[in-house]
Chain A
Amino acid sequence: ELKVEQNPLFLSMQEGKNYTIYCNYSTTSDRLYWYRQDPGKSLESLFVLLSNGAVKQEGRLMASLDTKARLSTLHITAAVHDLSATYFCAVDLNYGGSQGNLIFGKGTKLSVKP
């Protein structure tokens, strides 16, 4: 059974600081996704990582994927209050074929304080 573990589950940051969220998964996959969810809202796609060594950046967020270590990271640079949300990583169980089953981590609830 594929397990996706995120840590930390809760993160309180000061504005301007840097931090990394980790996503470990338990079986081979080369498709990993990061989503953002604001309270009571839907899931917003942030990054799609489709190969080992993939690195993508958007604003203050940078995501990377190491398929050998089965690890993805979401790095936050100089956090601002607007980044406060819950961040989910999700691994595609059915890589190599039709997309199907995304297994989500439990999410990291990020709170950025002034």
Chain B
Amino acid sequence: EPEVTQTPSHQVTQMGQEVILRCVPISNHLYFYWYRQILGQKVEFLVSFYNNEISEKSEIFDDQFSVERPDGSNFTLKIRSTKLEDSAMYFCASSGQADAEAFFGQGTRLTVV
């Protein structure tokens, strides 16, 4: 069964460092998303991406964040200068149609120390 895969599963980084979280969406999907979940809290939308550009982004997705689909298969989230409060589980998701459910990856746990 096709699935969204994310790497790494766990990333520890020092405050101020750049991190890149990687995702391989389901191959025939066209819509891509990043969400985050701070430990014990609800899932929060970060950004959606369609047709090689950002469709929507939340207030969380400030200038420190960027997304890219560099090669037609990977979908990355970059945080330029990490802060302690960026520590969370980051989920990538993809969907095939605008009103279809999004399939989520296993997540990357980012710990900023």
Q: Knowing A42-B105, A104-B43, A105-B42 touch, does A99 contact B91 (C-beta < 8 A)?
A: no
**Contact of B42 (CB < 8 Å), options: A44, A88, A95:** A88
CA distance A50 to B100 in the complex (A): 9
Whether A99 lies near B99 (C-beta < 8 A) is yes
Interface residue B106 (Cβ < 8 Å from any Cβ of A)? yes
Q: How many residues of B contact A (CB 8 A)?
A: 27
Q: Which residues of A contact B101 (CB under 8 A)?
A: 33, 45, 48
A80 at the binding interface (Cβ < 8 Å) = no
CB-nearest residue of chain A relative to B109? A40
**A104-B91 CB under 8 A given contacts A31-B99, A94-B56:** no
User: Using Cβ atoms and an 8 Å threshold, which residues of chain B touch A43?
Assistant: 43, 91, 93, 104
- As a 0/1 sequence over residues 68 to 98 of chain A, the CB contacts with chain B under 8 angstroms (1 = contact) are 0000000000000000000010101011011
* A114 close to B (CB within 8 Å): no
CB distance from B56 to the nearest CB of A (A): 3
Q: B residues within 8 A CB of A48?
A: 99-101
Interface check B65, CB cutoff 8 A: no
A42-B107, A45-B101, A45-B102 as given contacts; A99 in contact with B45, CB under 8 Å? no
Question: Complex Cα distance A42/B56, Å?
Answer: 22
CA distance A55 to B42 in the complex (A): 25
State in angstroms the CA–CA spacing of A94 and B99 once bound together.
Answer: 10
* Complex Cα–Cα for A92 and B98 (A): 10
Residues in B whose Cβ lies below 8 Å from that of A101: 45, 48, 56, 58
Q: Is the CB of B98 within 8 A of A107?
A: no
**Cβ–Cβ contact A42 & B98, under 8 A:** no
Q: Does A59 contact B (CB under 8 A)?
A: no
A positions within 8 Å CB-CB of B:
31, 33, 35, 41-45, 48, 50, 88, 90, 92, 94-95, 97-107
- B residues contacting A by CB (< 8 A) are 31, 33, 35, 41-45, 48, 50, 55-56, 58, 91, 93, 95, 97-107
Further pairs besides A98-B50, A100-B55, A102-B45: 5, Cβ < 8 Å: A33-B101, A43-B93, A48-B100, A104-B44, A106-B41
